[in-house]
Chains A and B, each alone.
Chain A
Amino acid sequence: MHDFIVGMAGSGGDGIVSAGESLIGAALAEGYYGILTKSFGSQIRGGESSCRLRLATQPVLNPGGTLDVAVVLNWEDFRRFGGELPVDARTLVIYEAKTKVEPTALPLGGVTPAAAVAVPMEQMALQSAGAQLAKNNVVLGLLAAWFGLPRERILAGIRKKFARKGEAVLAGNERAFAAGFEYAERTPLPAARRLAPAVPAAGPMQLTDGNELCARAALFAGCRFFGGYPITPATEIMQHLQRDIWKHGGSLLQAEDEIAGVGAAVGASFAGKKAMTATSGPGFSLKAEMLGLASVAELPLVCVDVQRGGPSTGMPTKREQSDLFAAVFSAHGDTVRPVLAPTTVADTFEVTVEAFNLAEEYQTPVIVLSDQELAQRKEIVPAIDPARFRVVDRRVPAGEELKDYRRFRFTDTGVSPLSHPGLPGGNYLAAGIEHDESGAPTANGEMHARMNDKRLHKFAPLQERRDLFVLEGEPDAAIGLISWGSVAGIALEALRQARAEGIEIKLLVPKLLYPVAVPVYRDFFAGLDRCYVVEQSHQGQLHRLIRMWADVPPEFGVLAKSGANPISPEEIVAQIRAMTRARAAAVRRH
């Protein structure tokens, strides 16, 4: 087996997520690729928790669909995760014997898995370690022996984790692992499957997540101020920055609310520093007025929205792509601000750096739409090579430009040099009030129109930023897919499966969502007669946004689902096959 997906669920105290972390840590050390996603019933600790881990000998595109192996510590918790831990006839179910459920009567809603084995995991933990807390290490032992996972690496991880807890605890957990391992060796599975040996990548790899890479990218891009307020699933960005930003001479404000957080960032940008804020849906709603202020005062600002299920408090721990409309439209007035979205964990670095570059270059707020999954899933990715990225700084006026300095001077590009307090001769009034070239308030309609034009026109070059789009598949295909954010990784896998079946198809993944780059879509749509947008929102927000700007193919559909409802490569492939059949039928008719 080259690709292996295990899902585990239990109560908060069962350590199931911790077992997942141990496995992916071992996989990194051994040279596998992998993605670990954690899922909790709510943000609050102590409720049910689960994780799913996909390990492979090649780069993985998404956390995967149906489980190869399901580990069930108790059935109620497992079933609460529903579609997030899907089981079908391929799945092997390993479950706690204490639940007393017969293998023939599993509560799986009528699905019959490939096999089901009841294992006395808790009993083994008690016997070997004297504590049922060690259950998760029994699980690790079972998985290592049954599926050929890297035993020594897992043990090394356990030793590292328990080293600080004292000899006795460490020895107990090692015994728990051994108990699981030996049990599995004594009890062969009906159909043995083992993960193929790792094929380590040429360069160094790291285990990270989108929020961490976002914070690291911000520092790399020169961010020296962060203002924000804690909110799931964006808080880790602030937490990572809090540790490091001071070392770079920067500072961070955990503000009294999101308005103050973004306000302080606007202030820091006005003062000449690269500044950022990060939040999720409810906080994003609060920031809307400040985003408009930054647009009209033409101040660089990066605002990350790690999307979660909405509206309102919604589903804080679940992925959704439903803030696209808010990101594009939420500040009032005739304004445009770039909206970017990373599509993989590794991408978050690149997209965040790009966001700072666009912000500084065009003197504008830039929204980064990450999502809960990209932000929080742990992934084995290549180490970042900063030399690959350019860093753009704002145009500060100098020399002659400071004589008769006019902050909002009309220029060919629409971008005017930006001074900051402390710079002699650059004094000006920044304002949310409409202004003339010097910054003086105005209520003149003609000036307002010219300023609106300046603020829109400066984004014209974004229409040709083809590097902010990923294109895969046959360029001349007549059917296509569009997808974005973390869902794009699922669409890409579906595309590869469909092509392996001989279907000609192509996929477009925009990392620049707004302004809609019409020429890029025009070229993609040329020769297409059927196209579907795959996204995690109920209305299909990207689908609608594209239609607002671009001429779309005759059949332009959407495969859209509300948050927390998994989208699998299989169902996308089914959609692709349906498109192929419909096209073939249409061709026959002509």
Chain B
Amino acid sequence: MISPSEDAAACPAPALTAKDFRSDLKPIWCPGCGDYGVVTALYRALAAIGRPAHEIAFVSGIGCSSRIPGYTTAYGFNSVHGRALPIAQGIKMANPELLVLVAGGDGDGFSIGGGHVPHAIRRNPDLTYLVMDNQIYGLTKGQVSPTSARGTQSPTSVYGSMEEPVNPLLYVLAYGAGFVAQGVPADMDGLTKIIEEAIRYPGFSFVNIQSPCISFGSPDNQIKNQKAKLRKLSDLGHDPTNRLRAMELAQDYGRELYTGVFYRNPNPPPTYERRIAELQGRLAAPGATGA
């Protein structure tokens, strides 16, 4: 196997641009879908990071948002509904040198795949998980999702949903993620920077992206409303090393639209891959055979 680091050392690559990460596939999202903004911000963030596309593995589940890996030039894996995180962890464990990105919808990540989130976080692999949270099931045409507000009317909740929504930010903070942020396509520069920072964080990083569904999402939650509503955490003077304060702010999910970094662990603990490499090093027995 070609080691990405050796490869990079052999020929200093020219600077990469956003275009280098755009594939030939034309997105099939509805015109006006927030996910267009997300993929554009991602191209820019990847250009800033500067790792060549073949060193990136980009895994998703199923949903409109989960189509995103195919629109990049990275090695993509558009897998099955809700299971992107386990697959991504297997990839990272198999080859820790790869830059591994994970993406999906709020249904993918917090409904069917919700059980995988705390476990990925407690292992702390160096993955970046982008959830395109549109508070609705887009692909299956508009059913209520786990992040929909109580009372949401949809084809499967015609009288209004009866459950409280999950709070992705608060959950992920409580599970112990080292990097938690929120962005919106209404603020492309901000979103680009947040994704870049998330990728740079050495450990599990989570970005909740309020990416509106123009076809089935709430009219109050569209890009034009986002512009008016959003409040940058940096403008509020929030200290992103303050986890408790971050949790307090996260309580406002669904009411306030904060963007920026809620929490960044100032002392990132060792990643899962680091611990594995240490164990492998300790146990390595030259000439050991299976039989």
Shortest Cβ distance from residue B253 to the other chain A in the assembled complex, whole angstroms: 24
Number of A-B contacts (CB under 8 A): 191
Q: Which of A239-268 contact B (CB under 8 A)?
A: 244, 246-251, 253, 255-257, 259-261, 263-268
Of B41-49, B71-79, B153-161, B263-271, the one with at least 4 CB within 8 A of chain A: B71-79
Q: Which of A405-445 contact B (CB under 8 A)?
A: 420-433, 439-441
- With a CB–CB cut-off of 8 A, which chain A residues contact B94? 224-225, 251, 267-269, 271-273, 275
Whether B89 contacts A293 by the Cβ 8 Å rule is no
Tell me whether B19 is interfacial, beta carbon within 8 Å: no
Tell me whether A46 is interfacial, beta carbon within 8 Å: no
Tell me whether A227 is interfacial, beta carbon within 8 Å: yes
Partner of A384, one of B57, B59, B88, B291: B291
Known: A251-B276, A430-B78, A431-B78. A220 touches B284 (CB 8 A): no
Task: Report Cα–Cα, A402/B209, bound state, in Å.
Answer: 36
Whether B77 contacts A431 by the Cβ 8 Å rule is yes
Shortest Cβ distance from residue B271 to the other chain A in the assembled complex, whole angstroms: 13
Interface flags, B1-14, vs A, CB<8A=1, else 0: 11110010000000
Closest to B61 in A: A432
Whether B78 contacts A227 by the Cβ 8 Å rule is no
Shortest Cβ distance from residue B52 to the other chain A in the assembled complex, whole angstroms: 7
Task: Report Cα–Cα, A220/B288, bound state, in Å.
Answer: 10
- With a CB–CB cut-off of 8 A, which chain A residues contact B252? none
Task: Report Cα–Cα, A569/B70, bound state, in Å.
Answer: 58
Tell me whether A290 is interfacial, beta carbon within 8 Å: yes
Whether A290 contacts B83 by the Cβ 8 Å rule is yes
Whether A440 contacts B25 by the Cβ 8 Å rule is yes
Task: Report Cα–Cα, A293/B59, bound state, in Å.
Answer: 13
Interface flags, A270-283, vs B, CB<8A=1, else 0: 11110100000000
Whether A259 contacts B291 by the Cβ 8 Å rule is no
Partner of A275, one of B90, B283, B291: B90
Known: A220-B289, A272-B95. A427 touches B83 (CB 8 A): no
Please tell me the size bucket of the interface on B. Answer: 35 or more
Shortest Cβ distance from residue B67 to the other chain A in the assembled complex, whole angstroms: 8
Partner of B91, one of A248, A421, A433: A421
Task: Report Cα–Cα, A250/B73, bound state, in Å.
Answer: 28
Which of A261, A420, A427 has the most chain B CB atoms closer than 10 A to its own CB?
A427
Of A211-219, A367-375, A503-511, the one with at least 4 CB within 8 A of chain B: A211-219
Whether B62 contacts A432 by the Cβ 8 Å rule is yes
- With a CB–CB cut-off of 8 A, which chain B residues contact A349? 291
Tell me whether A527 is interfacial, beta carbon within 8 Å: no
Which of B7, B25, B57, B91 has the most chain A CB atoms closer than 10 A to its own CB?
B91
Tell me whether B80 is interfacial, beta carbon within 8 Å: yes
Partner of B116, one of A246, A260, A428: A260
Q: Which of A203-233 contact B (CB under 8 A)?
A: 216-221, 224-225, 227
Instruction: Report 7 cross-chain contacts, Cβ distance below 8 Å, ordered by A residue.
Output: A264-B90, A266-B90, A272-B95, A289-B80, A293-B79, A432-B80, A439-B76
